[in-house]
Structure 1
């Protein structure tokens, strides 16, 4: 994996204030393997990336894989939207750029690749669902505001 991914994984450990061994336990990986990966002795595997994204749902997959955007997924900023939306989800900016992963000679395990791709698809599906929820909330808010405006004009 590229050096940037390694640095971003180290940043996650710092942000979460966890040691290498705590991090390995949190993502359900072998401690020795994680230690070697975090020290740059082994490449960060697709399996490790998949486990990180599964264990830390607040971490942006685009940031982890490509270094783009913020580490943490954005949260709703409008108090109105926040009250209307499910607290476990948040609107996300959807990008359609390709995800390129340099494996540096590492053999690709198709099962692990499929698991990572499924996780990415699920993330985008969640983002789409969140955006549809936001659209619905905004439609309702717009209808309410139009109704209030009509009442004010009638008065």
Structure 2
């Protein structure tokens, strides 16, 4: 990957286009256009503008390609729950939302992404993810503990649920609404799914498939082992 390619990756990483990126760093759009096309090499002054504007960009990565693209906190422990279809990126920037995932009944959230992120996570070598929330409760203990951060990819079509995988689910059934993290398996009862906890003290329970209002595939979790 050339330095021109890395600048193009920065533009895509922050959801910009060449014009908005040019405006943000204060250069003529033609300059960026020619760099992305490989016609010109970026000047030191332009690289300095990028680093000053995007202060979480790793300057070493920008100049040499070495190290992670983004500078961020290194978690003590990262668990990945991935499938062969996952597309891995060099570094993923993930919004952290203030939504509690509880192994019980809570207020349902129709759209987590409508909430303003409270922070951003920057983790290398993860598949594309849509967001992260804190885990509360012991339904997935000890695999997931209360306070762990769970990272997810929203499922746009519920028919694409992978049986046996772990999901963040919004369920509405018999007047109750709750958000939970469970393994999802096919039920022996037609039209139903079985939700299974990792904690053996929680019994599996069946719900109608059409009671699932929202599903997000759990891709990874982050656990901070030291608070000091």
Of structures 1 and 2, the one scoring higher in RCO (CA 8 A, sep 6+) is: 1
Aligning the two structures, in what range does the TM-score lie when normalised by the shorter sequence? Answer: 0.3 to 0.5
The structure richer in helix per residue is 1
TM-score (norm 2): 0.32
Question: TM-score scaled by structure 1?
Answer: 0.47
